[in-house]
Amino acid sequence: MAPPIILGIESATSRVGCALRDASGVLAARESAQPRRHAESLVPQIAAILRESGVAAADIEVIAVDVGPGLYTGLRVGITTAVTMAHALDAVMVPVTSLELVARRAADEGAAERSWERIDAVVDARRGELFHAAFTPEGDWISKPDVVDPQGLAEMLRSAAAETLLVGDGVEAHAEVFAQAGFSIGRCSVYPSAETIVELAAAAVAAGEVVNADSIRPLYLRGPDAQPIRTVA
């Protein structure tokens, strides 16, 4: 049986994107860095990569999606779109986290050197907080996803014996904190990528690690950024 056509959807950070992959590799991809434009951008992006690749939507057998942690509204857009399409196309799904996407991309880009002992993937959670997890130099999990404040993370990592590579938009957002703690932040600009999603999804499919659309759950780690206004009776 030939490897399936996989659609990957990424919307956990300020960026939004999608990619298509078949047995030969990535066929087409799109990414936009316009903040707060996830809902307006994603569906036209998907239509564009289908046209570019010559793939019909009905040919998609697997949909992989970033389930977070990340920005609440962005995650809702991406996951809702992915799940809706999976139901319509009778496709199976592969959930991937934003943190493993950042770590795996950093591992792939730095494969030639790997002078560090671990990677800490850091995604901006807004409100002065960060989502993070530790990974091996190859991008495999060491710790569970967590939400922390920048100073606390910097102090925790500084006290660790391991040489750590810090990557992700959360490092950029709080660069001064990490620089003052003695970390090199010159290579921190790594975002989750839809192209990385479909590569990880291909491995998951080969291992039989797929799920149905009804089992997809977002990994928020905390409540939404926008809260309803409470009135006093």
Residue pLDDT, tens place only, 7-31 = 999 999 999 999 999 999 999 999 9
Q: What is the pLDDT of residues 113-140, one digit of tens each?
A: 667 889 999 999 999 999 999 999 888 9
Model pLDDT, residue 231: 37
Give percent above pLDDT 90 in the chain: 74
Superfamily for domain range 98-180: ATPase, nucleotide binding domain (3.30.420.40)
CB atoms within 10 A of CB 14: 19
Structure tokens at 122: 């850091």
CATH 3.40.50.720 corresponds to the domain 5-97+193-215: no
> Residues 157-168: what's their mean pLDDT?
85
User: Do the domains 98-180 and 5-97+193-215 match in fold?
Assistant: yes
Q: How far apart are CA 16 and CA 84, in angstroms?
A: 17
**pLDDT at residue 123, rounded to an integer:** 96
pLDDT of 193 above 90: yes
pTM tops 0.85, yes or no: yes
197-209 pLDDT, tens digit per residue, is 999 999 999 999 9
List the single range of 66-70, 107-111, 216-220 with lowest mean pLDDT.
107-111
DSSP state of 230: P
Those residues with Cβ within 8 angstroms of residue 148's Cβ, 6 or more apart along the chain or in another chain = 129, 130, 132, 156
Residue ranges of domains in the chain:
5-97+193-215, 98-180
Q: What confidence tens digit (pLDDT) does each residue in 51-99 have?
A: 999 999 999 999 999 999 999 999 999 999 999 999 999 999 999 999 9
Dihedral pair phi/psi, residue 127, rounded to 5°: 55, 25
pLDDT class of 188 with cuts at 50, 70, 90: confident
Give dist(CA 89, CA 82) in Å, integer. 10
